[in-house]
Amino acid sequence: MYKKMKIVLKWVSSFLYNLQKYLYPTYSNLFMYQLKKNIYFIGLPASGKSYWSNWLSKKMGLSVTDLDALIEKKEAKKITEIFDVYGETYFRKIESEILKTLALKIPCIVAAGGGTPCYHDNMKWMRFTGTTVWLDVSLDCLYTRLTEKKEQEERPLIKKIEPQNLSTFLENLLAQRIGFYEEADISFNPNHQDQEELLLLLEKKGAIVKLNK
């Protein structure tokens, strides 16, 4: 089934890519790179998925697709409310459903949720329909970012964790998820790699195309 779907999605992706060029004929005069297929940023909470997807979207001249924001719009509730009212099982079901609609749109840059790759074959689907980028940020760095009060309040899995238990929680969370993260097409460590390296990695994977100036 996946082989047939791949043929169809490849055709759809090619059609949408050419449509994008038709709709934006002056694109090459404005930007150095063009998006060829979906790019999904994955990683633990506070790894920078929103930051890097926003940065790359601006580089491409596109608006970012934030998976959590799409879920909040559909449910008319904050992510923390969805978890509190309906539970994580319901949230993961909606998350997967929305994720799988993105392959039928003009190629986009997606900030996925931290747990997105770990449920309902989502990782397989993201790799099937685009390029996945794991933001492999150190646990010490994540701990520093997540100890900010605002960061904790906005994250359903972390808001009830006491600061003294946060380090252990992150270690356990990474242990649970690393098997999925390691399947990513690209492993990128923002602590040791820069923006140009990310662009080069994406270009090598065929996710973006460098335009002639």
CA distance 23 to 19: 6
Query: What does pLDDT average to over the chain?
Result: 86
Contact 165, 94 (CB under 8 A): no
Q: What is the tens place of the pLDDT at every residue in 157-196?
A: 787 888 889 999 999 999 999 999 999 999 999 999 999 9
Encode 60-93 in three state secondary structure.
HCCCCEEHHHHHHHHHCCCHHHHHHHHCHHHHHH
pLDDT given for residue 27 in this prediction? 45
pLDDT given for residue 127 in this prediction? 95
Place of tokens 């790359």: 56
pLDDT given for residue 200 in this prediction? 95
Question: Of 40, 35, 39, nearest to 18 (Cα)?
Answer: 35
Alpha-helix runs per DSSP H in the chain: 2-23, 27-30, 49-60, 67-75, 79-86, 88-99, 122-129, 139-146, 149-153, 163-181, 195-204
pLDDT given for residue 163 in this prediction? 83
The domains found in the chain, sorted by start residue, are 2-6+17-24+31-210 (3.40.50.300)
Q: Which of 122-136, 142-156, 182-196 has the lowest mean pLDDT?
A: 142-156
Q: How far is CA 64 from CA 8, 55, 141, 152, in A?
A: 25, 9, 24, 23
Q: What is the tens place of the pLDDT at every residue in 15-48?
A: 555 555 544 444 444 467 889 899 999 999 999 9
Q: Quick one: tokens of 187?
A: 């492993």
Q: What is the tens place of the pLDDT at every residue in 58-112?
A: 888 888 999 999 999 999 999 999 999 999 999 999 999 999 998 777 889 999 9
